[in-house]
């Protein structure tokens, strides 16, 4: 599927995701590690309000004491505080809220259907108040466009209760590069060439370098300055550069239908 129109107009869902997850957790030799929700696409798409797929997944993870880390920009995560707060109390859940900019005008152009910057800060405040370890992900950082805001984003998030922070340099794999270039020419024609030049500077002269270890942060002087700015701000604000550690030792294998609990099974 195209990352352009198709991505904006089509969505796939797995209605039985929770049931499939439960079966996966039952597999012999399954090794409990933190499950990441939001690594590829946001787990709180608008349709989640009706489909409840993420909610079902969290119910399974909660029931079987399986740790989960969530990355989202969707305010619907607040609906699931009733699940996430008890899990967090057992060191089983963290949330990272993605904040790209604090500029409402830029936010409307970059993410026109996503929660506003103010709403995302409110999400951090509410999640933190519920005792859920919450961080901020400043992503994507676009050289020459929103990266001057890095310190302000981190400061606002820390003020709202964020405990940790991360950032990702703009990534433009495959067809995304031309789409981004066209978007820049449409919305920021006077800055487009400068921004694309800085992007290439951080990607070895190309619009994108997907090499592992480089694709998230880039290389070169500009990328190095961004990294140092991030680290300096985190130290000043008391933000950890890694989410809170979660506990994998509490996991309980889901019983199969008809299984009898053991004589000394505390569950």
User: Structural domain boundaries of the chain?
Assistant: 15-237
Joined tokens for residue 38 = 């939001």
> What is residue 70's DSSP assignment?
E
Strands (E), 40-177: 68-72, 93-98, 134-141, 164-169
pLDDT in tens, 159-186: 999 999 999 999 999 889 999 999 999 9
pLDDT in tens, 117-175: 999 999 999 999 999 999 999 999 999 999 999 999 999 999 999 999 999 999 999 88
Is the Cβ–Cβ distance between 47 and 13 less than 8 Å? yes
CATH number of 15-237: 3.80.30.10
Q: Pick the closest to residue 81 from 18, 49, 35, 127 (CA basis).
A: 127
pTM assigned to the model: 0.91
């Amino acid at each position: 599927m195209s990352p352009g129109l198709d991505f904006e107009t089509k969505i796939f869902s797995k209605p039985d995701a929770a049931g499939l997850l439960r079966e996966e957790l039952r597999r012999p030799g399954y090794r409990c590690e933190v499950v990441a929700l939001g690594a590829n696409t946001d787990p709180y798409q608008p349709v989640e309000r009706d489909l409840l797929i993420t909610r079902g997944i969290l119910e399974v993870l909660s029931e079987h004491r399986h740790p989960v880390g969530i990355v989202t920009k969707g305010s619907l995560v607040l609906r699931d505080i009733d699940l996430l707060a008890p899990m967090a109390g057992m060191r089983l859940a963290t949330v990272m809220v993605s904040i790209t900019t604090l500029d409402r005008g830029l936010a409307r152009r970059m993410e026109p259907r996503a929660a506003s910057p103010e709403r995302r800060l409110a999400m951090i405040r509410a999640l933190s108040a519920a005792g859920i370890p919450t961080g901020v992900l400043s992503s994507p950082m676009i050289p020459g466009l929103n990266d001057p805001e890095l310190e302000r984003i981190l400061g606002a998030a820390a003020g709202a209760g964020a405990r940790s922070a991360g950032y990702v340099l703009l990534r433009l794999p495959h067809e995304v590069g031309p789409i981004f270039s066209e978007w820049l020419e449409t919305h920021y024609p006077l800055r487009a060439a400068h921004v694309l030049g800085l992007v290439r500077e951080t990607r070895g002269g190309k619009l994108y370098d997907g090499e592992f270890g480089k694709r998230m942060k880039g290389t070169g002087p500009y990328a190095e300055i961004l990294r140092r700015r991030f680290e300096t701000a985190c130290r000043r604000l008391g933000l950890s550069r890694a989410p809170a550690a979660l506990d994998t030792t509490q996991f309980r294998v889901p019983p199969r239908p008809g299984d009898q609990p053991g004589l000394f099974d505390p569950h």
